[in-house]
Amino acid sequence: MNIGAAARASGVSAKMIRHYEQIGLLPAPARRTSGYRDYDTADLHRLRFVRRARDLGFPLDRIADLLRLWSDRDRSNADVKAIALAHLADLDRQVRLLHEMADVLRALADACDGDGRPHCPIIAGLDGDVLAPGHCHEAGSATSSPPRPGAPSGILR
């Protein structure tokens, strides 16, 4: 089948299929005389594997590892589990981080009347102005320990 059909059948966009082929994640499929790519069932199977792994947030280089293990009949499930657990730790870390951010922000937003006046605990919080009136103590202390978005390591893009 052509790339568009493969994309629809796998949930991986044509653009991404080409990209994955280009970076070596996927083998190049057969080509028709027209130059069009021709995907067979094994290709499709592989694409679906990639789709599912992406859906779980695995980065591409980990997916490459998983694909290798998938096709290795002598694989050790311990290797697979190690990859999965490392990624799981990542996911949990991100959840924690985002949760902390959300909590801080929620407290600031809750402290804001949103009545159209200039005074705003959110702004005060970002200002680092712990002497702001009203819910100043909560807002101030909340922004003193927010988590920090790190270097490119996010699961979602």
Partner DNA sequence: GTTGACCTTCCCATGATGGGAAGGTGCACA
Partner DNA sequence: TGTGCACCTTCCCATCATGGGAAGGTCAAC
3-state secondary structure of 24: coil
| 54 Cβ contact list (under 8 Å, min separation 6) | 12, 63
Build a one-symbol-per-residue string for 11-50: x at contacts with a second copy by CB under 8 A, - elsewhere. Answer: ----------------------------------x--xx-
Residue 123 contact, options a second copy, DNA, none, Cβ 5-8 Å cut-off depending on partner type: a second copy
Residue 124 in tokens: 């005060």
* Contact call for residues 135 and 121 (beta carbons, < 8 A): yes
The piece of 41-49, 56-64, 83-91, 133-141 that touches DNA (CB under 7 A) is 56-64
74 touches a second copy (CB under 8 A): yes
- Chain CA centroid to CA 8, Å: 22
4 touches DNA (CB under 7 A): yes
Of the two residues 36 and 147, which places its CB atom closer to a second copy in the complex? 147
**Angle at CA of residue 149, ends 144 and 152, nearest 5°:** 165
The piece of 1-9, 23-31, 34-42, 90-98 that touches a second copy (CB under 8 A) is 90-98
Of the two residues 14 and 98, which places its CB atom closer to a second copy in the complex? 98
The sign of the torsion formed by the CA atoms of 126, 130, 133, 138 equals positive
Give Cα separations from 97 to 1, 46, 131 (angstroms): 43, 33, 27
Task: Count residues binding DNA (CB under 7 A).
Answer: 24
Q: How far is the CB of 19 from a second copy (least distance, A)?
A: 14
Strands (E), 2-147: 30-31, 37-38
List of residues contacting a second copy (CB under 8 A): 45, 48-49, 52-57, 66, 69-70, 72-78, 80-82, 84-85, 87-88, 91-92, 94-95, 97-99, 101-102, 104-106, 108-109, 112-120, 122-123, 125-128, 143, 146-157
